[in-house]
């Protein structure tokens, strides 16, 4: 969006007071585009998205015009050309004209959350650097959680625990957080954590008492106690190092509460204490595995017996016995097992089918017999519009439904030599 008549840069009120949530300002410019408008003010407490921190939301209103609705500020950005703060408002900003005096009010809960996350990030980055020399290369603030990327190949659980402990100790110390202004040379002499860009002649430094000094344009708390708490979450390997997820302040409380509720629900399922959940889950998985093993053995025995019965009752077809049978309640694994037993325990051709969620066919013959099960299966499934195949002695395929599987068995039997 283009701006006209902009001469001075927006005075950023949050630079010196992050707790200012209401202010008065003069409208410098309004540009309208596609139903929204970008409003430039001569001064503003609204934070525009930058440096990993997301924008404030809030309202603009014209004092003394109670009949006009408050105008919602839904996004705040920096104008790349002018460096001005742009307040993106809904509905075209009726009544706002250059020269008008407006009252701005920012969403204080959102601001507090951002201050907690961002100030917590300073403490966290400093703790990683102090304890292990891992520099922070980037910071991202999301809706749910925040991340920093560390210049490191790996961060282990012990290191995470130590950093989390130190960071929370600094919070418990309730150290002062001061804002200072200095030249890049002065900043370096003071021992700033991250080497600041040199093109600016005046830097804003965030000084966490005897713990960290860093150049930053964001909004921060007045003392570390206001961060509340830092909770480290998962880590993952990324291109530039290791990404560490974290939450601060009330987000940490919300996250811990959700974790607790999730664990409590899982513990109730197992009728156990939440700390016993991993042990119970492992135990249950072991039990499932041995139950599956036992079931497999039982099915082997059932198949062995059933093969015997079927062979006894089967009709003779010259040199072999023919078994044609459909099992509505069995699955493919079982009829495969049965086909193997039928063709190994006697001289037989077995044409078997099963129902269940995935109706299937298995054709088998005792090796040496002169039919071709693979070819017979291909021919059968082709007619059904399904897939299947195999070798000369054993083949399997799918059927669209139970009735066509049963029908296909009879057709295949008629095609045998």
DSSP per-residue codes, 163-205: HHHHHHHHHHTT-BEEEEEE-HHHHHHHT-SS---TT-SSEEE
Measured from the CB atom, the residue of 218 and 355 that comes closer to Zn ion is 218
Torsion, Cα 155 156 159 163, to 10 degrees, reads: 60
Candidates 221, 260, 216; CA nearest to 113 is 221
What residues numbered 216-245 form the site for Zn ion, per CB under 5 A? Answer: 216, 218
Measured from the CB atom, the residue of 114 and 341 that comes closer to Zn ion is 114
Measured from the CB atom, the residue of 20 and 100 that comes closer to Zn ion is 20
Measured from the CB atom, the residue of 17 and 370 that comes closer to Zn ion is 17
Q: Could you give the C-alpha distances from 275 to 23, 270, 283, in angstroms and in order?
A: 50, 12, 14
* Cβ density class 374-383: b for 16+ within 10 Å, e for less: bebbbebbee
What residues numbered 163-222 form the site for Zn ion, per CB under 5 A? Answer: 216, 218
Rounded least distance, CB 11 to Zn ion, Å: 19
Rounded least distance, CB 121 to Zn ion, Å: 7
Q: Considering only the stretches 97-105, 111-119, 150-158, 388-396, report the one whose residues sit in contact with Zn ion under the rule CB under 5 A.
A: 111-119
Q: Considering only the stretches 3-11, 112-120, 234-242, 304-312, report the one whose residues sit in contact with Zn ion under the rule CB under 5 A.
A: 112-120
Rounded least distance, CB 83 to Zn ion, Å: 19
Measured from the CB atom, the residue of 118 and 193 that comes closer to Zn ion is 118
Q: Do the Cβ atoms of 222 and 176 come closer than 8 Å?
A: yes
Comparing every residue's Cβ against Zn ion, the nearest one is 216
Q: Is 115 in the site for Zn ion (CB under 5 A)?
A: no
Q: Could you give the C-alpha distances from 217 to 14, 115, 330, in angstroms and in order?
A: 9, 12, 68
Rounded least distance, CB 150 to Zn ion, Å: 17
Rounded least distance, CB 217 to Zn ion, Å: 7
Q: Do the Cβ atoms of 351 and 412 come closer than 8 Å?
A: yes
Strand order through the sheet with 136-141: 136-141, 146-150, 241-248, 230-238
Measured from the CB atom, the residue of 217 and 225 that comes closer to Zn ion is 217
Residue 53 carries which DSSP code? B
Contact footprint for Zn ion (CB under 5 A): 118, 216, 218
């Amino acid at each position: 969006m283009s701006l006209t008549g902009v001469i001075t840069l927006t005075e950023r009120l949050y630079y010196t007071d992050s707790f200012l949530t209401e202010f008065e300002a003069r409208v410098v410019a309004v540009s309208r585009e596609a139903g929204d408008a970008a409003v430039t003010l001569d001064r503003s407490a609204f934070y525009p998205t930058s440096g990993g921190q997301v924008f404030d939301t809030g309202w603009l209103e014209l004092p003394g015009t109670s009949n006009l609705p408050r105008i919602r500020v839904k996004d705040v950005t920096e104008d790349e050309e002018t460096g001005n703060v742009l307040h993106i408002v809904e509905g075209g900003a009726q009544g706002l004209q250059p020269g008008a005096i407006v009252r701005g009010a920012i969403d204080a809960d959102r601001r507090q959350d951002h201050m907690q996350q961002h100030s917590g990030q300073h403490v966290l980055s400093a703790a990683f650097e102090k304890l292990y020399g891992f520099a922070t290369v980037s910071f991202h603030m999301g809706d749910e959680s925040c991340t920093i990327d560390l210049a490191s190949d790996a961060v282990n659980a012990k290191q995470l625990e130590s950093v989390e402990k130190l960071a929370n100790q600094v919070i418990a110390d309730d150290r002062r957080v001061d804002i200072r202004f200095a030249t890049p040379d002065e900043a370096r002499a003071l021992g700033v954590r991250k080497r600041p860009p040199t093109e600016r002649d005046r830097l804003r430094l965030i000084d966490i008492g005897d713990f960290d000094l860093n150049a930053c344009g964001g909004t921060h708390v007045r003392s570390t106690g206001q961060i509340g708490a830092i909770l480290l979450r998962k880590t993952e390997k990324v291109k530039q190092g290791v990404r560490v997820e974290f939450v601060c302040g009330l987000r940490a409380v919300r996250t811990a509460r959700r974790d607790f509720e999730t664990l409590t629900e899982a513990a109730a399922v197992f009728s156990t204490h939440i700390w016993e959940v991993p042990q119970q889950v492992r135990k249950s998985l072991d039990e499932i595995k041995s139950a599956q093993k036992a079931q497999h053995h039982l099915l082997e025995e059932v198949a062995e017996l059933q093969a015997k019965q079927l062979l006894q009752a089967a009709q003779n077809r010259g040199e072999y016995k023919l078994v044609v049978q459909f099992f509505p309640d069995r699955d493919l694994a079982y009829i495969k097992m049965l086909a193997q037993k039928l063709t190994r325990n006697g001289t037989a051709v077995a044409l078997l089918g099963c129902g269940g969620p995935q109706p299937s066919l298995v054709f088998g013959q005792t090796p040496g017999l002169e039919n071709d099960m693979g070819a017979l299966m291909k021919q059968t499934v082709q007619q059904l519009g399904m897939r299947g195949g195999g070798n000369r002695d054993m083949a399997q395929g799918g059927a669209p439904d139970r009735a066509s599987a049963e029908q296909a068995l009879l057709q295949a039997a008629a095609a045998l030599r």
